[in-house]
C-alpha cells in the first residue's frame, strides 16, 4: 500500500505535462550576459590560454549581468538552480515558481558549500588531519546554518574521492589518500549538513561526489581516464562513497571521468547496479556541470540527443546546466526511443527530495533578515579557529615557533598580500572583506 506522501507525489506527476516533467530534471545555471564578443565559455578559454590577462577577464566580467531565464521558470521548464547563494534572489525566483507557474512546484537551490559558506573552515585536506568526526560534523552543521539562511537547499559536498597522486588539482577538496579517513570524514559531513530532520529550515541535502574514482585519473590530470581492476575499485575507492550513502546522503553526483572505458555519467553498472540495487540508494542523482553533454567529447555517443538518452537510461535524474535533457528528452520520448516511465521515476525522486526538505509547505525557508543575522556569527568564527588549530600539523619545530616581535620574516609572492586568497579553494560563498592577508596579519 502506498503511503500518503507517495500518493501525493504520484498524483502531482499525473497532472504534469511532458514539458513540465522534463523541467524538473533541469538545473539551470544562470547565464552571464554582458559586453562579450564571444561566449562566456570562450572567454574563460581565452584567459586559461593566456590570450587575455586575468585583469582583462575581470574587467569584462564586471560588465556582466546574470540571466535567470525567468520565462522558462514561469513555463515550468526549470526545477532547480545552481549557484544562487543569497536569500533575496532565491526568494524572488521561488516566488515565480510557486505563484506564477501552472503547478506551483517549488525550486531546489544547489550550491558548492565545500568548507564553509561565509565562515570558512580549513580546506577538507587540512581539516581531515584533525581525525575528529565530531569536529567535522560541527563545522558542517555551521555551514548548513549559514548556507540555508542564504537560500541554499543542497550542497555539492562532501567530496570523498580517494586521491593518491598529489599532482591532481582537486586534492584539496577531499581527505587525501586514505580510504577509511575519506569515509569517516564524508559520513560526518553528511550528518552535519543534513541534521536530524531534513525538513528543518537549517538543514540541507548532502550530495556526495564524484562517483566514482575521480581522484584516480591517470598522471593526476583532471578528467583523465581511470582504468583499474574491480578489486582495487571496491577496496580502495568505493568504500568512502558507501559510507556517505549509509550516513543518509540524499544526492549523488557521478564523476566526469570514465571508469574502465565507460563515462561515469552514463555508467549503468555504477549508477543502477551498484548504487541503487546493491547499496539501496533512494535519493537523486545529478550530473556534474555540463557532464552529460561532455559524453560527446568522450566519444561514446555521436551527439547531444544520444547523450540525453544514455544518461537517463543509465540513471541520471537531474542535468546540471548542459540543457541536454531540456532540448532532447521530449523528442526521444515522443519517438519511442525512451519510455516515459523512466522519466517519471526521475521526476518522482526529485519531487520526493523537495517534499523531504519541506519545500511544498514552506518554500521560503529564509529571508534577508535571517541571512544577515546568521552569517559570520562570533561562535562560528570561534569554531573555525578551533578547526584550524586542531588541523595544523607541525612536523618539526626547530626553535622557530612561537614567533617573537624581534624576528625578521621574509614573505614572498603576490598572493601573500591578497586577502581573497586566504579562503582556500572552492570557498565561493566567502567575501574578501571577511579576510586579512598574511602580510596584514
Please write the tens of the pLDDT for every residue from 155-192: 999 999 999 999 999 999 999 999 999 999 999 999 99
- Tell me, yes or no, whether 339 lies in a domain: yes
231: domain CATH number is 3.20.20.300
- Tell me, yes or no, whether 431 lies in a domain: no
Buried b (16+ CB within 10 A) or exposed e, 42-64: ebeebbeeeeeeeeeeeebeeee
- Tell me, yes or no, whether 112 lies in a domain: yes
- Tell me, yes or no, whether 133 lies in a domain: yes
303 given a catalytic annotation: no
Residues 6+ apart with CB under 8 A from 29: 81, 82, 83, 289, 320, 321
- Tell me, yes or no, whether 399 lies in a domain: no
- Tell me, yes or no, whether 351 lies in a domain: yes
Across 235-374, the runs of DSSP E, i.e. the strands, are 251-254, 258-259, 262-263, 284-285, 319-320
Q: How sure is the predictor about 399, in pLDDT bands with cuts at 50, 70 and 90? A: confident
pLDDT of residue 58: 82
Q: Of the listed 161, 236, 288, 317, which one is catalytic?
A: 288
Look at 34-38, 240-244, 280-284, 298-302 and tell me which has the smallest mean pLDDT: 34-38
Q: How sure is the predictor about 36, in pLDDT bands with cuts at 50, 70 and 90? A: low
**Total structural domains in the chain?**
1
pLDDT of residue 338: 97
The 10 Å Cβ neighbour count of residue 19 is: 13
Cα dihedral across residues 125, 134, 109, 382: positive or negative: negative
Look at 85-89, 297-301, 425-429 and tell me which has the smallest mean pLDDT: 425-429
pLDDT in tens, 326-379: 999 999 999 999 999 999 999 999 999 999 999 999 999 999 999 999 999 999
Q: Whole domain around residue 189: which residue ranges?
A: 4-372
Across 98-175, the runs of DSSP E, i.e. the strands, are 108-111, 154-155
Q: How sure is the predictor about 35, in pLDDT bands with cuts at 50, 70 and 90? A: low
pLDDT of residue 170: 97
pLDDT of residue 2: 65
Cα separation, 157 vs 120, in Å, equals 15
In the chain, the percentage of residues whose pLDDT exceeds 70 is 98
Tell me the average pLDDT across 271-285.
Answer: 98
- Tell me, yes or no, whether 283 lies in a domain: yes
Q: How sure is the predictor about 220, in pLDDT bands with cuts at 50, 70 and 90? A: very high
Look at 1-10, 188-197, 426-435 and tell me which has the smallest mean pLDDT: 1-10
- In this prediction the pTM is 0.94
- Tell me, yes or no, whether 425 lies in a domain: no
Amino acid at each position: 500500500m502506498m503511503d500518503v506522501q507517495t500518493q501525493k507525489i504520484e498524483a502531482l506527476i499525473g497532472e504534469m505535462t511532458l514539458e513540465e516533467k522534463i523541467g524538473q530534471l533541469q538545473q539551470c545555471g544562470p547565464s552571464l550576459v554582458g559586453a562579450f564578443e564571444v561566449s562566456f565559455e570562450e572567454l574563460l578559454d581565452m584567459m586559461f590560454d593566456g590570450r587575455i590577462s586575468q585583469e582583462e577577464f575581470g574587467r569584462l566580467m564586471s560588465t556582466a549581468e546574470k540571466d535567470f531565464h525567468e520565462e522558462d521558470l514561469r513555463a515550468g521548464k526549470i526545477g532547480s538552480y545552481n549557484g544562487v547563494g543569497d536569500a533575496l534572489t532565491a526568494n524572488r525566483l521561488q516566488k515565480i515558481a510557486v505563484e506564477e507557474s501552472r503547478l506551483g512546484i517549488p525550486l531546489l537551490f544547489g550550491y558548492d558549500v565545500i568548507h564553509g559558506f561565509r565562515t570558512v573552515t580549513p580546506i577538507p585536506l587540512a581539516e581531515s588531519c584533525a581525525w575528529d568526526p565530531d569536529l567535522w560534523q560541527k563545522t558542517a552543521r555551521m555551514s548548513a546554518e549559514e548556507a540555508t539562511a542564504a537560500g541554499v537547499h543542497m550542497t555539492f559536498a562532501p567530496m570523498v574521492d580517494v586521491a593518491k597522486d598529489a599532482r591532481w588539482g582537486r586534492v584539496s577538496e577531499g581527505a587525501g589518500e586514505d580510504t577509511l579517513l575519506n569515509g569517516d570524514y564524508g559520513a560526518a559531513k553528511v550528518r552535519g549538513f543534513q541534521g536530524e530532520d531534513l525538513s528543518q529550515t537549517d538543514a540541507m541535502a548532502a550530495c556526495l561526489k564524484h562517483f566514482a574514482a575521480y581522484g584516480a585519473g591517470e598522471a593526476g590530470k583532471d578528467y583523465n581516464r581511470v582504468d583499474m581492476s574491480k578489486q582495487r575499485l571496491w577496496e580502495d575507492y568505493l568504500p568512502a562513497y558507501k559510507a556517505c550513502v549509509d550516513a543518509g546522503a540524499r544526492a549523488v553526483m557521478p564523476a566526469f571521468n570514465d571508469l574502465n572505458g565507460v563515462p561515469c555519467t552514463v555508467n549503468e553498472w555504477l549508477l543502477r547496479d551498484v548504487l541503487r540495487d546493491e547499496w539501496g540508494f533512494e535519493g537523486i542523482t545529478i550530473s556534474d556541470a555540463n557532464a552529460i553533454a561532455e559524453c560527446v567529447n568522450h566519444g561514446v555517443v555521436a551527439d547531444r540527443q544520444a547523450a540525453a538518452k544514455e544518461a537517463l537510461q543509465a540513471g541520471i535524474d537531474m542535468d546540471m546546466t548542459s540543457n541536454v535533457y531540456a532540448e532532447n528528452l521530449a523528442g526521444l520520448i515522443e519517438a519511442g526511443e525512451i519510455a516515459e516511465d523512466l522519466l517519471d521515476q526521475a521526476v518522482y525522486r526529485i519531487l520526493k527530495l523537495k517534499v523531504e526538505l519541506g519545500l511544498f509547505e514552506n518554500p521560503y525557508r529564509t529571508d534577508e533578515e535571517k541571512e544577515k543575522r546568521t552569517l559570520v556569527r562570533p561562535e562560528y568564527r570561534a569554531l573555525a579557529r578551533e578547526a584550524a588549530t586542531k588541523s595544523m600539523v607541525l612536523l618539526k619545530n626547530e626553535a622557530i615557533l612561537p614567533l617573537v616581535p624581534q624576528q625578521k620574516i621574509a614573505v614572498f609572492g603576490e598572493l601573500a598580500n591578497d586577502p581573497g586568497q586566504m579562503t582556500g579553494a572552492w570557498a565561493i560563498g566567502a567575501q574578501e572583506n571577511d579576510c586579512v592577508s598574511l602580510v596584514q596579519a
